[in-house]
Amino acid sequence: MKALPWINKDNLKPFIETLSGFVGYRLDDWDWDAIFYGVRDTNDEEDRWYEYELIGDRKFKVRLARDAESDLIFVLVEADKDLEEKAAIAAEIMQSYYLYDEPKKRAYP
């Protein structure tokens, strides 16, 4: 498994959606329930990880663990090398920006 940079917990959904897009998998409510409840009781310091597979045209195995003292989630992935590289880039983006499901309306001058 390849260790990726951490992501902020608020970016978990966009991150997983990005990975699922790479393999052609469409997430549904059942997937989100499993992921959010699975990650809830993880702890990187106690080596408690949650593992989930995204299987479409290709496959991603994702392991997630919350940081015990912050809002960070540590990520491990297993896939073809090109997918792992794409996942690493996605994780770096998740560190730099907060991504949202719906754009927030802003008032422009």
- 18 in a structural domain: yes
pLDDT tens, 25-34? Answer: 999 999 999 9
CA distances from 41 to 25, 28, 106 (A): 25, 21, 36
> What is the overall mean pLDDT for the chain?
90
CA distances from 53 to 76, 77, 78 (A): 12, 10, 9
- 105 in a structural domain: no
Please give the model's pTM, rounded to 2 decimal places. 0.87
The domain in which residue 74 lies consists of 2-96
- 14 in a structural domain: yes
Q: What pLDDT score does 28 carry? A: 94
- 52 in a structural domain: yes
In the chain, % of residues over pLDDT 90: 77
pLDDT tens, 46-98? Answer: 999 999 999 999 999 999 999 989 999 999 999 999 999 999 999 999 988 88
**Count of structural domains, the chain:** 1
